[in-house]
Amino acid sequence: MNEQEQYVPIENVAKHFSVSISTIRAWVRQDRIPKNTYMKLGTTYRFKLSAVETALVQGPLEATDEVLTTAKPAKKPIELY
């Protein structure tokens, strides 16, 4: 079976990157975490953790014919240590 990655709450993303929930919200507003890495239901966000990590390390991603490709980053990617 092909297991699909589950979407996780914002608290899990903040914990994974050792930052505050406010920082994750700021990264969403600044498009450092692109829209294709999460879904928003009302005021609730759910994130695909691996896609968020890829976006933060490599810069923004754009979907083209079901293939994710690296776009020219508008902003400097966040360096994770």
Q: Indicate whether 51 belongs to any domain.
A: yes
Instruction: Output the pLDDT for position 4.
Output: 84
Q: Sorting pLDDT into bands at 50, 70 and 90, what band is 10? A: very high
Handedness of CA 12, 18, 20, 24 (dihedral sign): negative
Spacing of C-alpha 43 from chain mean position:
17
Q: What is the per-residue pLDDT across 18-60, written as a single tens digit (0 to 9) for each? A: 999 999 999 999 999 999 999 999 999 999 999 999 999 886 5
pTM over 0.75: no
Instruction: Identify the three-state secondary structure at position 35.
Output: helix
Provide the 3-class DSSP secondary structure of residue 62: strand
| pLDDT over threshold 50, residue 13 | yes
What is the number of structural domains in the chain?
Answer: 1
- 81 within domain boundaries: no
CB neighbour burial string for 24-58, b if at least 16 within 10 angstroms, e if fewer: beebbeeebbbeebbeeeeeebebbbebbbbbbee
Boundaries of domain holding 32? 8-70
